[in-house]
Structure 1
C-alpha cells in the first residue's frame, strides 16, 4: 500500500512541476474608467499571471509631465494562488491611482516586471479625457461652473452623473498668478447639496469618510495651516437659491520655488453614504460627523463615492529685476514696517535698550533679511539682531509678522536720535519694489557710571619716609621683586652690532621690498588688462572656499549655510559668464546659458534642484537642517567640477 501511495505522490509532484514549467507568464494593463474627465481619479491596474513570484514591483511607464498626468500613487496590491487539476496559477495585481489635467486621447506606454530571468512587458493602454459635463446639463450654479469635478461611483455611471454638483471637493486658491516667492493660501472644502441627496434616498446624517489623498505640491514649499480634521464643521451657504453646506477639509500656505505654469494634483476623498432605512450602526465616538476619517466601509447597504477637486493650475510670474543699488530683502507681499524702543530713558554705560523692528502684512514676512542699522553716535550695538516669526489668519487672509530685536547700550549722556531704518520689499498689489521706512526714535540718556580705565596705574616701587628733621629719604620696597638681582655686565666689544645676525637682514630688507613691489605691480597690471579672464580663472577656487565656509556654518546656522551655497553658485556663474553682478542672475537664465553651451540635461536638472533647495529654505527657514546643508554643499562642489 505504501509504495503505491508514494508513487502517486511522486507522479502528482512531477505533474505539478511540469505544469508550472509549462505555464506562460503574462502581464496585462488596463484602466478604470477608460473614459474620464479632467481631474477625475483613475485606476491603472497591472495584472501578472504566473506561477513564479516576481523579483520586485513593476517598473511603471514614464509619461511626459507636459501631458498633464499626475504621479502614479500606489492604491494597493493583492495576490491569489490556485491549484486546479494539478495546474498551479498565481495572480498578482498592482493598483495605482492618477489623474489628468488636460483633455484628449492619450496612450500609456507598457509597464515592465522581472520574473526570474525574464522581463515581461504589458500592453499599451488608451484613455480618453474629456471636459467636465456642461453646466446646463449638470444644472450647476454659475459660481461652481468649471470649478468642481464629478464624483466617482464605481460601476454606476448613471448615478455618478446624477450626483455631479450634489457632492464635491472645492479648491479655493487665494491667487492663480503669484510672483516667485509670494506665499498664498490654498483651501479645500467639502460641499454637499443636502436636500438633493436626501431626495435621492441617501441618509446624509450617517455618511462616513475614508481614505484621503493630499497633493504633493511639487514646485512649492508647503506650510500646513489647517490639517486634516477628525470632526467636520459645516456652514450653510446659499448659492443662486440652492442650499449647500461646506466644511473645511485642508488648508496650506504654499510658496512657488520656480516660475512658469505649475499644476497641483487633485485632493481626493473617499466617502460612503448609507441608504435611508438601512440597518442603523452607531458611529465611533457618538456625535454627529464625529471621527470622520475613521471609516472601514463596513456599513450595510451603503455606496462608496470618491470625490476629488479639479487640478489647480498656478501661473507663477518672475519677479522683475530690481533697480541698481536696491537691496531687496526677499519679502514678497503687502507689508508695513515700524520700530519701537522698550524704554525712552536710560543711563549711560548701565542700561541695555531693545530696539524692535516689526515687518507685518499679507505675504511671507519670514523671508525678509534684517534691516541695516546705521552707526549711531553715543550708542553701541551689543550683538547681531535676533528674529522671530509668527502668523495668523485674518478675514481669510494669511497675515505674517517678523520681528528683529537689536540690543543697544548708550555710552554718552544726552539725547540720542535713532534714525529711520529701511527695508525693501516687493509689493504684489502695486507690482513694484517698495522701500519701507520706520519713524525716527529719540532716547534720553542720563549720566551713569564712568567707563572704567582699561589699565590701572602701577604701584610705586619705592616708599618715602620723612625724618624728624623734615628731610625725606627714599628706601627700596621690600614687597616687590625687582627684574635685575645681579650687577649689569657691559660688553665693551667694538663691533658688537656687526656680530648680530639681524643686521644683515635689515640691510637687505629694503631691496627685497622694492623687488616684491615691482613683481606685484606687474601682476596687478596683467589682472587689470584682463579682469574677466582673472575672474574666470579664480571662479572655481572662490566657489570651493565659499562652499567649505558654508559647511562650517551649517551646524550653528543652517539657514545661512543654504544662503551661502546659493550665493556661491550665482557668484561662480557670474564670474564664468562675465557678469558684473551675481544678484542679477536668475536660475532660469543660468540654466538657459548652460544649455546653449552643451551642458548635459542631467547636470542642468541637478543644478535646478540645488537652486530650488536654496530658495525653498529662504521661504521656509524652519525646514533647514545642518545635514541637508552639508549634503547640498558637497553635491554642488561635484556639479561645479563637472561644469568647470
Structure 2
C-alpha cells in the first residue's frame, strides 16, 4: 500500500512538471491579418521559455515567396521574488514574405526544441487582396503602432478622396421589434496619415434607449479588408440601442474633422540641400460624415400576458429568501433575479403577492451586465425587504414573469417555486396568534402599533396666570427704566472726559492753578 502511494505521488509530480514546462514554453506567431498581393510583410515567431531554443525549423510553403530572413533576436531576464530565483528567455525569428496570389492562406507552423521538448506554433491565417492602391507605401507606422498598409497616394494639392477616408455607423440588425437590443459600432476607415481629430459630433439616437459600451482611451488602428482594399480602421464608439417605439427610425449622421499629414510636390527650385532636408508635408483638415441609418421597428404582437415585464430576448428567473426562519418584527428579503440575453436594462419589477401580515418596503434593484457582449446579456435582481408582524407558517405564491422571445416569435411565461416561511413569536409578540396563514387568506390588518405615534393626552395641564411671570411685572419695568437711565449717565460722563482731554490749554491752566 505504501509503494502504491509513493508511485501515485511520483506520477502526479511528473504530470505537474510536464504541465508546468508546457505552460512556460510557448511559441507564437505574429503576422498581419490582411495584406495586398504585391505587399511585403513581416512574420515573426516568438519563443518564450526558461532556456534558449534549438533546432528551429520553418518553411514559407507554396503560397508565399521568401524575400529575406530569418533575423534572429534574443533577450533574457532574471527575477528574484522572496528569495526565489526565476529566469525567462525570449527568442525571435523574423522573415519578410510576399504573397503569390489573392485568397486566404495559412502561414505554415514552425517547430523548435525547448528544454528537451519539441514544440510548434499555431498556423496564422492571412487574407490576401488585390488592393488597387499603391501598397508599396505600406511600410510606415501609424499612431497606434500598427503597419499602415494600403496608404493611398495624394495629389499635389494634398486632397484626400472619400474612398480613402470615411466613417460608418454599422448596426447588428436593421429590422427589430420594440425592445429588442441592437449593437451599433462607429468606425473610421482611412488610407491616409491621420494625426488627430477635431470637432467630433457623435450620433444621437432619438427614439432609442442608448448606452455607450466602449469608449477607447487611445484610438488604435488595425488593418482590415473592405471591397478588396486594405484600410486602417479604428472603432470610435460602440453602443447598445433599444427601440422605444415602432416605425422607421432614422439615426442622424455623425461628423468628425480629421487632421491629416499629406505629402505635396515641391515645385519651387532650391538648393540640393533643400531637396534632401526640406519637409514636403503639410497638414490638411477633412470633414467626414456618416450616412443616415434607418431602422425598421415592428410593434410587439398583441395578447401580452398580465405578467409581461417588458423583456425582449431570452430570460430565466429565480427566487430566494435571505432567510426562511425568523421571528416576528425581524427583517428579511425576497430576491428575484431575471437573467439572460436581451434588454436587461429595461426589465420591469415583477409583481409579488406577499401575505397580509407582512410589511413590505420599497424594492431595491441591482443590475449586472456583461460588457463583453455589449451590455445585452446579464441579470437584474429585485430585492423586496419585508417584516412579518405575526407568527405562524406563511407561503409566498409563485411569481410569474413574461417576456417576448424573438427567436420563437411568442410570449413566454416564467414561474418561480412557492416559498415557505416559518415565523416564530418574537419579544414584542404580535396582534393575533396565527397557526397557518397563506397569501390567499384575507384577515384584518395587524393591530399592534409601534411607539412612534402616541395617543392624545386627555389630562389637565398645569397652567399659570398671565401676571405671575417676571416678564411684564411692575418690578420688571422699574428695573428696565433704571438700566436705561444708568446707560445715559455713563454715556454723558464719557463724553465730558473726552472733551476735557481734547482741551490742551485748559488742562495746562488747571495744572498751573493746582501748583500755585
The structure with the greater share of residues assigned to helix is 1
Q: TM-score, normalised by structure 1?
A: 0.37
Q: Which has the larger radius of gyration?
A: 2
The structure with the greater share of residues assigned to strand is 2
